[in-house]
A and B are shown apart, each in its own frame.
Chain A
Amino acid sequence: MIRIKHLSKRYKTKNQEVQAVDNVSLDIAKGEIFGVIGYSGAGKSTFVRLINRLEEPTDGSILIHDKDITKMPSNQLREKRQKIGMIFQHFNLLWSRTVYDNIAFPLEIAGVPKSKRKEKVLELINLVGLAGKENAYPSQLSGGQKQRVGIARALANDPEVLLCDEATSALDPETTDDILDLLVSINKKLGLTIILITHEMNVIQKICHRVAVMENGKVVETGEVLDVFVKPTSKTTKRFVQQLNPLEHEKDNLAAFINDREDSEVVKLHFIGDRAKRALISEVAKTFDVEINILQGSVTPTQEGAYGTLFVELIGENSVLQETIDYMKNTGVEVEVLRNV
C-alpha cells in the first residue's frame, strides 16, 4: 500500500551537507504495524516527516495507493494529509482548546459541517476511552490522556495511515503499554496501517509486525520482528535486541559453567513462535541419557508469537551429547553451543 523508493533527504548547513535519510526503500502492506527503530540522530524522525512531506524529500518517491506524494502540488497534498494521521512525542495539542475542540480541529480543516462533527468527535472520544473529559483542557490531563486525545485527533478524518513519531517516548512504562494496546486495538478494529518510529525495542516487540532498523540515515536491516529478534545481523540491531533480552547481559555469569570437559556442553536454545510452547527439555530427558541443568531462561512475547531463550548445561557421554544436540536441532529450535573464548 505504501511504497517508498530511494528516499533521500539532505540538509545544507553552513559548513557541510548532512544526509539525514539515505536512499531508503520500503514496502508497507495495508493493515500492517511497521516499526522503524534507531538511535537518536539515525534519521528516523526525518524519515517519518518525509512521508507526509512535513520535510521535503531531496530524492525518491513515496507512493500511497499508487499516488506519488512527492509530486503532488500543495493543495492536493493538503487534502492528502487529511488522510494521513500523525501523533507526536509531545502530543502537540492546542492548549487553548478543550479535548472536544482539539479532536474537532481536523474536521474543521476538512470542512465537515458542525452537526456532523459532533457525532464523529463523540465517537472518537469513546474509542480512545476519554468519555467524560470532553470539556477538559489539555493542561488538566495526564500524559497518557493527552496522547489519547492526539490519537483521536489523528483518526478524525478516517486516515489510511497513522504515523507515530516517538508516540510513547514521553510516557512512563505503564502508560506506554496502555497506549500501545490502544494502537493495536485500533489497528485491528479499523484495519489501519501504522508506521511507528521509536528508539525503544520493547515498543517494536509488543506491537509491530515488521521492523526496519535505521542507522546514519540508512535502513541497515528489515524484516519480520521475530526474525530480526532471533537472528539480528547488523551490530546496531544486535544492540537493540540485547537491550530487550536481559539474559544477554548475563552471559558472562555463565562462564563458570563453560569448560573444556568432554562430558559437558552449555547450549543456548532459541524457541520461536509456536515452537516456544514445546516441552523440548522433558522430551530430551526422556529420550537420551543426559542430565540437564537449566541455567537461565526467558520468554518474550511479540505480535507474531513468542520467542524464548534458554541456557542449559548438558552432562553425559560425548557421543550422546552430540546426538542430543542434533536431535534438538532437528526439532527446529535454534541451538548454539557455547564455548570458552
Chain B
Amino acid sequence: MFETLFPNVVMEDMWVATLETLYMTIIAGIGTFVLGILLGLLLFLTDQGNLWENKFINFITGLVVNVFRAIPFIILILLLFPFTDFLMGTIRGWKAALPALIIGAAPFYARLVEIGLKEVDKGVIEAAKSMGAKASTIIFKVLLPESMPAIISGITVTTISLVGYTAMAGVIGAGGLGDLAYMKGFQSWNFDVVFVCTVFIVILVFIFQFIGDMLSKAIDKR
C-alpha cells in the first residue's frame, strides 16, 4: 500500500533526514535559548528605569537585534558562508547550518524574552531590592523565574521557526528533511518524497508545540 502510493520514498533516508533535522533544531534551539536570553536580558536591563540603565548599550543591542531580524534567512545563510567556513571548517552538512540558525533565530527570541521580562511585576523587583538583593540575585532569582512561562513559550515558538529554517538550510546542502525534499523530491520530480517530508516536518512541529505547552503549563503557578 505504502509502496504503491509513495514509490520513491526510501524509509532509511527518511529516518536519517529526520534525525539530521532534529539535531539541527535541538542544538540550534539550545544555542538560541542561551544567546537569546543573554540578549533579551541586556535589552531589558539597559532599558530606561531598569537595573543597568544605559542608553548607548541599549541602542546598540537593539540595533544589532533589529538588523539581524530584518535579514531574510536564506540571505543570512549566504552572508554567513565565510564565517561558517572559518568557525566550522566546512559549509556543508547539518553542523555547518548551526551558526546561521542560531544567529537567525536568537534576535527574534531575544525580543520575546524582553517582552517576557517586561511583564515581570515591578513591585516584585522593588521588593527584592528592599530586601537588599544584588543585581545577580534579582536576575537569577526574580527576573528569570518570574518570566519563565514567557521564556518557555517563546522558545517553543522560536524552535518551530527553526524547523522551518532547517528546511531552508537543507536546500543549500545542510541535510535534513528540507534537503531530502528538495534534492530527492523536487529535483527528481518525485512529489511523493516532498509530500512525506512535509508530513514528517508537520509532525515534528506538533511534537515541539506539545512539549512546549506542557512545560509552560507545568511551570506557571500564577
Contacts and interface: CB of A to CB of B under 8 A. Distances in A.
Contacts of B131: 81-82, 86, 105-106, 109, 153, 157
B141 to A, nearest CB: 7
A96 B148 contact: yes
Interface residues of A, number: 29
Contacts of A327: none
A52 B132 CA distance: 10
B130 A95 contact: no
Nearest to A80: B132
Contacts of A81: 129-132
A95 B146 contact: yes
Interface string A88-107: 10101111110000000110
Contacts of A54: 126, 129-130
Given A88-B123, A92-B126, A78 B133 contact: yes
B126 A93 contact: no
Contacts, number: 67
Contacts of A157: 131
B142 interface: yes
Interface string A305-340: 000000000000000000000000000000000000
A234 interface: no
B55 interface: no
A82 B142 CA distance: 17
- Chain B interface size, as a band, is 20 to 34
B221 A137 contact: yes
B123 A139 contact: no
Contacts of A163: 130
A137 B221 CA distance: 7
A248 interface: no
Interface in B110-128: 121, 123-124, 126-128
Contact of B121 (A80, A92, A97): A92
A80 B121 CA distance: 24
A79 interface: yes
A110 B221 contact: no
Contacts of B219: 96
A87 B164 CA distance: 49
A279 to B, nearest CB: 50
Contacts of A262: none
A151 B124 CA distance: 14
B184 to A, nearest CB: 48
A158 interface: no
Most chain A CB neighbours (cut-off 10 Å) among B127, B134, B222:
B127
A87 to B, nearest CB: 9
Interface in B144-164: 145-146, 148
A79 B133 CA distance: 9
B140 to A, nearest CB: 11
Interface in A126-177: 137-139, 153, 157, 163
A33 interface: no
A208 interface: no
Contact of A94 (B129, B134, B142): B142
A94 B145 contact: yes
A90 B221 contact: no
Contact of A86 (B127, B134, B142, B222): B127
Nearest to B133: A109
B8 interface: no
Most chain A CB neighbours (cut-off 10 Å) among B141, B145, B146:
B141
A108 B141 CA distance: 10
B146 to A, nearest CB: 5
Given A108-B137, A109-B137, 10 more contacts: A88-B127, A92-B121, A92-B124, A92-B126, A93-B124, A93-B127, A94-B145, A105-B128, A105-B131, A157-B131
21 contacts: A52-B130, A54-B129, A78-B132, A78-B133, A78-B134, A86-B127, A86-B130, A88-B126, A90-B121, A90-B123, A94-B145, A94-B146, A96-B148, A105-B128, A106-B131, A108-B141, A109-B131, A139-B221, A139-B222, A153-B127, A153-B131
